[in-house]
Copies of this chain bind each other. A is one copy, B any other.
Amino acid sequence: MSEELLGNCLVAQSGGPTSVINSSLAGVVSEALNHECIEEIYGGLNGVQGILQEQLIDLASESQQNIRGLRYTPGAALGTCRYKLRSEADFDRVLEVFEAHNIRYFFYAGGNDSQDTADKISKLAQKKGYALRVIGVPKTIDNDLVTTDHTPGYGSVIKYISTSIREIACDNGGMGQHDLVQVVEVMGRSAGWIAAGAALAKYKDNPNSAPHLIYLPEVPFSEEKYIQDVTKVLQKEKFCLVVVGEGLVDADGNYVSTDSQSADAFGHSQLGGAGEYLRRLAEENLSVKARSIKLGMAQRAAVHCASKADSDEAYMAGQAAVRAAVAGETDKMVILVRSDNDGYVCETGLAPLSEIANGVKLLPESWINEDGVSMNYNFIKYALPLIQGEVEVPFDNGMPQYIDLKKIKVDRKLAAYTLNT
């Protein structure tokens, strides 16, 4: 057992939100209250960007209803950022803020870029001899973090998408018109996890049910094969429901998209347009009507159709982060571990932040059928447990009631800091 470390804790969120990112926050706050070594429970607004600017709030003064409400409120309740700590000055400033507020526990919920940031902060603190325990909380709809079985946020996005696909299939199947091509574009920058998840919409007893074709970033796109694929489906079915991941690339690695491309702070291309591209391709090459749907950011915020299993695991990951830090762990991320000897059971574990940082977990090739456009039983077995159960969102007067934190500011102790943008 490591020595008890007395001080305050800070939790922050980073990157694109998920439906359950706040469930992890609720887990951190609830668990932190259980440990006397943790004195104040602070939240950092807008990820590291807010920490640099000393924008801290007092989470312990939030109402119980608010903390409970976090479990069904989408978006990042603390705010996130895509700001990348760039300079030595940035990193020094983070530690300066931590020291000023006696932050000894730092929990950072995010994807691989964010875990990289957490890793660097942790290493710097060690180097400078500042006692700090840093534990990452996994968070991304993309499900592309290495070492963890899956990521909180993934189950909910694929539950929403596969539910929507099943509904769209009811709609399209009931249309008198034959030869409708319906393209649904979903997120997924470099891995096809999200697009693959749409396969859950297929009825077990009907392999010909929608989605008929799934185009993954892992499988180089060929226009010729696409036209053949669609033609083949329409020979048997009234409509062809196509799911495409936004990160679809051709054999040369170029994005399949109608859009011009811009890049974010981490150099990632901003995608969007693959669905519309495939729609046009079908309409121009086949005598069919084609329509497209782009769920965009709605898919990562759709708590009204979120997975209870996912939400509960996100909460558990938050709790586990606190427990690990209190037990003396640092420079690690909570991972989800599947023990499925006797049905699906999910437990938490830990992995070094450095292993997660900037790694990308692709879909196993062996889970994709030989046709390149459908998923086999191994994927279904993997994904189905992640969408079990439904998050109950309270509706009042016909509308979902999400919460807003009071966000009581912690007094600043330092001079202002100029961001390096």
Listed in ascending order, the chain A residues whose CB lies under 8 Å from chain B are 13, 16-17, 46-47, 49-50, 73-83, 159, 162-164, 166-177, 182, 184, 200-201, 262, 270, 272, 276, 289, 291-298, 300-305, 307, 309, 384, 387-390, 395, 397-400, 402
Contact = CB atoms under 8 A, between A and B. Distances in A.
21 contacts: A17-B171, A46-B176, A49-B176, A75-B172, A75-B173, A77-B174, A79-B174, A79-B175, A79-B176, A163-B400, A167-B298, A167-B303, A168-B297, A168-B298, A168-B301, A291-B296, A291-B297, A292-B294, A292-B296, A384-B398, A387-B398
B172 A297 contact: yes
* Chain A interface, >50% SS class: mixed
A260 to B, nearest CB: 9
B297 A182 contact: yes
Nearest to A19: B167
| Copies held by the complex | 2
B293 A296 contact: yes
A314 to B, nearest CB: 15
A163 B387 contact: no
Nearest to A49: B176
A49 to B, nearest CB: 5
A115 B75 CA distance: 44
Contacts of A47: 176
Contacts of A292: 272, 294, 296
A73 B163 contact: no
